[in-house]
A = this chain, B = another copy of it.
Amino acid sequence: MFNKEEQTRKIIEFIQDYFQKCHLGGVVIGISGGKDSAVVAALFAKAIGEENILGVTMPCHSKEEDKEDAKLIADTYHFPLINVDLTKTYDTFHEEVEKLSEFTKSEDSDINLKPRLRMSTLYYLAQMMSKKEHKTYIVAGTGNKCEEYVGYFTKGGDSVSDIKVLADLTVEEVIQVGEVLKVPEKVLYKTPSDGLSGKSDEDKLGVTYKDIAKVIHQEEVAEEVKEKIEAMHKNCEHKFHIPTYFQDK
């Protein structure tokens, strides 16, 4: 059984131990307006203090609504929140690619570009903050175990971080930790969505997070659903281990 108070305490200790061991000073967190980044921010606020957090919203042709929810989280946990609008950067990149006669505009629709630009931004800001504050800032990952299990993340995007605190927690467990830390209900119980495609995560995945959690915990679930989830799991193996040539020794 998942003991939410105990797990919350242990995650906070995990962060504190790692920061002490590596002499770290602060953390940069992309605040999407969803529950994962809210829970991560709440955990770090407890673990290292709100004054050592930099929250970042990175709209890119995005809904204003998400930014409001991000602000709610920053206000709740009292950390500074800055806004880096990536719309122009994204558009400039496209203009450059469209110059190539080989490619036409209609073929252009890589939904993974935004997460990669966001990752680049978080690392850029971590570097800047480290210089400005004379202490080392790292980038926090916000992915949970269900997303990782089915590969629902962008390689080279949201999968790149310096510390992962939710990666072993199912969506339901993340919500429970959020309850302990009093994450505003509006955010905590919001339907998960990537904020990119206009669809909910579960619509896109074609399976529910509940069923993914059941498969992870080897609990009973309809055979057809299980097969679908296991196939997704198998198909994302390449996102975790890059196939590499090794010399026989």
A93's contact among B22, B89, B242, by CB below 8 Å, is which? B89
- Any chain B CB within 8 A of the CB of A164? yes
Residue pair A116, B119 in contact (C-beta under 8 Å): yes
Residue pair B162, A238 in contact (C-beta under 8 Å): yes
Residue pair B100, A96 in contact (C-beta under 8 Å): no
Chain B residues whose C-beta falls within 8 Å of the C-beta of A116 in the assembled complex: 116, 119-120, 123
- Any chain B CB within 8 A of the CB of A82? yes
**Copy total for this chain:** 2
Separation of A117 and B96 alpha carbons in the complex (Å)? 13
Separation of A108 and B127 alpha carbons in the complex (Å)? 9
CB distance from A180 to the nearest CB of B (A): 15
Residue pair A168, B244 in contact (C-beta under 8 Å): yes
Stretch of A153-161, A183-191, A225-233 with 4 or more beta carbons under 8 angstroms from chain B: A153-161
Chain B residues whose C-beta falls within 8 Å of the C-beta of A242 in the assembled complex: 141, 161-164
Residues on A close to B: CB < 8 A? 2, 7, 10-11, 14-15, 18, 22, 82, 84-86, 88-89, 92-93, 95-97, 100, 102-103, 107-108, 110, 112-113, 116-117, 119-121, 123-125, 127-128, 131-132, 141, 155-156, 160-169, 238, 242-247
A88's contact among B14, B92, B121, B128, by CB below 8 Å, is which? B92
CB distance from A145 to the nearest CB of B (A): 10
Residue pair A88, B96 in contact (C-beta under 8 Å): yes
Separation of A244 and B159 alpha carbons in the complex (Å)? 12
Residue pair A128, B156 in contact (C-beta under 8 Å): no
Chain B residues whose C-beta falls within 8 Å of the C-beta of A2 in the assembled complex: 247
Chain B residues whose C-beta falls within 8 Å of the C-beta of A155 in the assembled complex: 123, 160
Residue pair A110, B96 in contact (C-beta under 8 Å): no
Q: Could you list 23 A-B pairs, sorted by A, with CB under 8 Å?
A: A10-B247, A15-B245, A18-B243, A22-B238, A85-B96, A86-B96, A88-B96, A89-B93, A97-B128, A107-B131, A107-B132, A108-B128, A110-B123, A110-B127, A112-B127, A113-B120, A113-B123, A113-B124, A120-B156, A156-B160, A160-B160, A161-B242, A162-B243
